[in-house]
Amino acid sequence: MSWNKIICSHKELQLFGTLNGGQSFRWNYDKINDEWVGVFSRTVWKLKQNDDHIQYQVIGSLIKEFDTKDSISYEKLLKDYFRLDLNLVKYYKEWSEKDELFQTACQQFYGIRMLRQEPVENLFSFICSQNNHISRISSMVEKLCTHYGDEICTTDGVTYFSFPQVEKLAVCDVESKLRQLSFGYRAKFIQKSAAQIVEWGGERWFNNLQDMKYKDAKQELMKLHGIGPKVADCICLMSLNHLDALPVDTHVYQIAAQNYLPHLRGKKNVTDKMYTEIGDHFRKLYGDMAGWAHTVLFCADLKKFQQNDDIKCESQKKRRKK
């Protein structure tokens, strides 16, 4: 199968930081072939990073109106997913001028893109993310796809499925099935939220959220079972085009307290008031794309956290050997 090409500098799109930073949970990196394999828009993709372009293959697709050889339509889909219409280098320059910490972080974490995800997948993936780590979230998302999605294709011995339609997750017996699959309390949140979305109009409801102001959309999302402020902000930012939404978790709190809001240091919990203060601070600093800008800082902090974790594991191994 031949590769197609999209002209795009690595400074405009860094696949590793973008696909491995906790936005989407359906991408896997193949070290041997130096390529990414993932699923979005009911399509299985392979991507390769180059200095001045991205290579892609469409492995299989359920999009009936597209022919798998129709590279123009798939290229448009991929460009839209990565928001390649936006000049990221220009925004990085603006954010760097406003913030020394960003200026430092962006040296390594250049080209971090905010994916334009499908709201249904994004919403239920982040319900799975609660009190969880990336590898387990990815496992749960794949279970949802395997049991409730549609088969797309099989390649290299792996069968890929689309993310399920919300109607399939709204059926009453979904909760008990997901509990059997080790989803725990999240099983109830998934089934109940799906039922609410179907009742409120499904895709039309999501379209209305995109048309609302950010804070109104966030409040609507929080009416769903199991959706709190952080998950609502993730959904607003990653799939509803509210790029000023800023999810505040432990990492984001630590970044804010250590570098911007010292009076928040040493707090045991992030209160509603603190959550709002942190978000408003970054919105004032970065403007109407604060959520995107802060994602770069989040990636840098997450990398530092992972490196510290690796160092800790190595030291524990050495102690056990002694």
Residue 152 corresponds to which tokens in the numbers above?
């797309």
User: How many CB atoms lie under 10 A from the CB of residue 143?
Assistant: 16
On whether the CB atoms of residues 116 and 81 are closer than 8 A, the answer is: yes
At position 165, the amino acid (one-letter code) is Q
Residue type, 215: K
Q: Of 5, 143, 230, 267, which one is the catalytic site residue?
A: 230
C-alpha 228: how far from its chain's center?
Answer: 17
Instruction: Give CA–CA dist 113/86, Å, rounded.
Output: 10
From 167, 126, 162, select the one nearest 146 (Cα to Cα): 162
Active site residue 230: yes
Q: Are 128 and 186 in contact (CB under 8 A)?
A: yes
For residue 150, give every residue at least 6 positions away whose Cβ sits within 8 Å of its Cβ, in sequence order, or none. Answer: 42, 62, 161, 162
For every residue of 238-303, DSSP letters joined together read HHS--TT-----HHHHHHHHHHT-GGGTT-SS--HHHHHHHHHHHHHHH-TTHHHHHHHHHHHHHH
CA distance 92 to 212: 27
- Residue type for 245, please? A
**Both tokens assigned to 166:** 């919300």
Q: How does DSSP classify residue 234?
A: H
Q: What span, in angstroms and rounded, lies between the C-alpha atoms of 10 and 61?
A: 27
- Beta carbons within 10 angstroms of residue 171's beta carbon: 14
Active site residues: 230
